[in-house]
Amino acid sequence: MPATSSNKPYRVGRSKTGLGLFATKPITKGTRIIRYYGPILDSRIPEHDDIENKYLFELNGRWTIDGSVRKNLARYINHSCRPNAESDVRPRERKVFIRAIKNIEPGDEINYDYGTDYFKAYLKPIGCKCESCEKKRKKLRAEARAERAKVKARAERKAEKASVKSAKKKKLNGHAVGKAKGRARA
């Protein structure tokens, strides 16, 4: 893992989704945190178009940054549906900067929204692991458990009523009590 100097406001560390980039110092809203860099690929060149990895950052329809180089620490920034940073894409300069959109405290994971194309291709099949989606899933699971408990309690009450009814019928020496329909039999 690449070493980071102490004057950087971030470090690479273990996160729920693998490795992540974490703040080591307070980062104020609007601050440029890190540059996403790597070789620039041209989509018109067939060899460049065939490169497949998760660290490709598309600048526009033609240019893409291959961020898989080890020195690119920005590649460790994970996706979040409720991010604390965003990408500042400058296609003419062929540069991408990650900028804070909220105040980030030391120890917080730095994250940004990867966009719908990346989300659909890589994250949706396995499920988003960001904190807001985890909370949403946890709430949905709790609601589902509560609903199952309600249904189970209803079924138990219904079964209890049915057993009480059948017990009343048995008490009357095997004769059912109720309205007679038609003629009475002897």
Q: Kindly list the averaged pLDDT for each block of 10 residues, start to end, along the chain of length 186.
A: 68 89 94 93 79 84 89 92 91 92 94 83 74 81 90 88 77 56 56
Angle CA 95–59–117, to nearest 5: 135
Give the alpha-carbon dihedral of 64, 87, 118, 17, to 10 degrees. Answer: 120
Q: Are 4 and 11 in contact (CB under 8 A)?
A: yes
Structure tokens at 5: 């100097």
pLDDT at 48: 73
Q: Can you tell me the distance from the alpha carbon of 8 to that of 171, in angstroms, rounded to the nearest whole number?
A: 84
DSSP 145: H
Residue type present at position 163: S
pLDDT at 6: 65
pLDDT at 176: 54
pLDDT at 134: 80
- Per DSSP, helices labelled H in the chain are 46-49, 116-118, 131-171
Q: Can you tell me the distance from the alpha carbon of 21 to that of 15, in angstroms, rounded to the nearest whole number?
A: 8
Helix, strand, coil percentages (3-state) for the chain, rounded to 5, are: 30, 25, 45
Closest CA to 44 of 59, 17, 29, 64: 64
pLDDT at 98: 95
Q: Can you tell me the distance from the alpha carbon of 122 to that of 19, in angstroms, rounded to the nearest whole number?
A: 16
Say what the pTM is: 0.67
